[in-house]
């Protein structure tokens, strides 16, 4: 603590300074010059002296002590002012201010609630606009398409994504071809495998609700085995959400949806068995038509690991990196979706091995043996603009 010491007689004693500042007498200015501490620059307000028995009420026209904009010294009415009428309560700002203070937090909470509602509604509206029926739904990260109560379940994925998967039937000059497709926009953009529709004279597409549409080819890319078709007079379809295949790991659970053997909306499940598998397929349209001749067996030939599966790929081929899965894939699954457990499309199913294609295999071993491949969805996203412009084969 800092203390102030004063020698006796250092400052002159002035008994008049010890009196109340409200004594009513003001010392001469020359007496103030040596005062310590220095007096204020203005004279303090003087109290009101009234006769005994006289009622004094707060002055009108000011806000009172602590009020905003009022004179802090105007605490009482000037002498001689008329008192209020009998029974009239004296004005007082305190309760009103207290009422406002009590109202303040409630108002603040209400404002926060309104702001939160506005932000939430705006976000929902923006999401609806971004994922409108005529817009391809695409996600750079994993988006929860499946409701939270069913997230991580095969049934939840099937329920959420099945409306976005279609059956594709192509009529060829010498036969027919059946595969699957994924809806990219509400007005009928569908992605499928090129080998499903290659050489087709007409294409029919059946949606999950049983409706049938005629489709036109928009663009093809034989080197990536991708094709984009467009339904005629379609609207209000549910577009799938394209995920991020770069975020997929070996062992991730997946679901496959397609139309094997014409069984629309068939759901199977498994895991991602491997990444970046080199899969080789034919780019020769005549080879594709020969495979489908007379209805074909639906087994698209491909090469993997130096071996040919499902027949001869021919001399004109292309190789792409694929996701390998043990989810059951059968003829007709080509062009369908490989989906993560949040409901995002991570691949387009393109090739599967069926033991029935080997002459040494018996009929009892026909069907899926857990060796299927899908084109990574990021390959599709990178090629989508080219497909919409007619494709690299145009």
| 45-83 pLDDT per residue, tens | 666 566 666 555 554 444 444 444 444 444 444 455 555
Angle, CA of 309, 311 and 312, to the nearest 5° = 105
Sign of CA dihedral 66, 70, 71, 73: negative
For residue 316, the model assigns a pLDDT of 74
Locate 215 and state its tokens. Answer: 């489709």
- Tokens 């409706």 belong to 211
CA distance 178 to 190: 15
Instruction: Return the pLDDT at 390.
Output: 93
Name the active-site residue from 162, 177, 180, 195.
195
Instruction: Sort residue 298 into left (φ over 0), alpha (ψ -120 to 50) or beta.
Output: left
The confidence score (pLDDT) of residue 91 equals: 53
The confidence score (pLDDT) of residue 54 equals 59
pLDDT of residue 120: 42
Q: Is 68 a catalytic residue?
A: no
Nearest to 138 by CA among 258, 225, 244, 248: 244
- Give the CA dihedral 245, 246, 249, 254, nearest 10 degrees: -10
Contact yes or no for 289/197 (Cβ under 8 A): no
Per-residue pLDDT of the chain (394 residues; tens, 9 = 90+): 445 555 555 555 554 444 544 444 445 444 445 556 666 666 666 665 666 665 555 544 444 444 444 444 444 444 555 555 555 555 554 544 544 444 555 555 455 444 444 444 444 334 434 444 455 555 544 677 898 889 899 999 999 999 999 999 999 888 888 999 999 999 999 999 998 999 899 999 999 999 999 999 999 999 999 999 999 999 999 999 999 999 999 999 999 999 988 899 999 999 999 999 998 887 766 555 555 543 345 566 777 677 777 667 777 788 889 999 999 998 899 999 999 999 999 999 998 876 655 544 444 445 567 789 999 999 999 999 999 999 877 5
DSSP 36-75: SSPPPSSPPPPPPP--TT----PPTTS--TT-SSS-TT--
The catalytic residue among 208, 269, 334, 354 is 334
- CB-CB contact of 225 with 235 (8 Å): no
> Which residue's structure tokens are 């299927």?
372
With CA atoms as reference, report the closest residue to 320 among 277, 384, 283: 277
Catalytic residue, chosen from 225, 326, 340, 383, is 225
Distance separating alpha carbons of residues 95 and 82, to the nearest angstrom:
25
Query: How much is the pLDDT for 9?
Result: 54
225 is catalytic: yes
DSSP letter, residue 293: B
């Amino acid at each position: 603590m800092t203390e102030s010491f004063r020698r006796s007689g250092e400052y002159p004693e002035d008994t008049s300074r010890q009196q109340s500042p409200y004594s009513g007498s003001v010392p001469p200015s020359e007496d103030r010059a040596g005062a310590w501490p220095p007096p204020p620059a203005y004279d303090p307000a003087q109290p009101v002296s009234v006769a005994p028995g006289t009622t004094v009420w707060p002055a009108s026209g000011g806000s009172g002590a602590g009020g905003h904009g009022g004179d802090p010294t105007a605490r009482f009415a000037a002498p001689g002012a008329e008192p209020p009428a009998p029974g009239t309560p004296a004005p007082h700002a305190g309760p009103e201010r207290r009422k406002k203070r009590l109202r303040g937090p409630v108002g603040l909470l209400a404002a926060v609630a309104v702001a939160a509602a506005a932000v939430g509604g705006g976000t929902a509206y923006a999401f609806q606009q971004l994922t409108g029926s005529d817009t391809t739904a695409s996600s750079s990260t994993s988006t929860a398409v499946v409701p939270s109560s069913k997230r991580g379940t095969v049934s939840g994925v099937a329920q959420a994504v099945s409306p976005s998967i279609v059956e594709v039937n192509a009529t060829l000059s010498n036969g027919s071809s059946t595969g699957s497709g994924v809806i990219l926009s509400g007005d009928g953009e569908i992605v499928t495998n090129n080998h499903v529709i290659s050489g087709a004279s007409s294409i029919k597409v059946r949606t999950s609700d049983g409706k049938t549409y005629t489709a036109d080819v928009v663009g093809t890319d034989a080197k990536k085995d991708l094709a984009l078709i467009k339904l005629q007079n379609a609207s209000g379809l549910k577009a799938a959400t394209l995920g991020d295949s770069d975020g997929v790991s070996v062992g991730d659970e997946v679901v496959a949806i397609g139309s094997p053997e014409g069984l629309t909306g068939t759901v199977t499940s498994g895991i991602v068995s491997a990444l970046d598998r080199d899969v080789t397929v034919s780019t020769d349209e005549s080879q594709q038509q020969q495979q489908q001749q007379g209805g074909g067996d639906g087994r698209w030939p491909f090469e993997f690991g130096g071996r040919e599966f499902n027949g001869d790929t021919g001399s004109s081929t292309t190789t792409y990196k694929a996701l390998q899965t043990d989810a059951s894939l059968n003829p007709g699954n080509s062009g369908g979706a490989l989906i993560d457990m949040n409901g995002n499309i991570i691949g387009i199913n393109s090739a599967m091995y069926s033991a029935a294609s080997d002459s040494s295999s018996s009929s009892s071993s026909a069907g899926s043996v857990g060796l299927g491949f899908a084109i990574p969805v990021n390959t599709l996203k990178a090629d989508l603009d080219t497909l919409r412009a007619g494709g690299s084969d145009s």
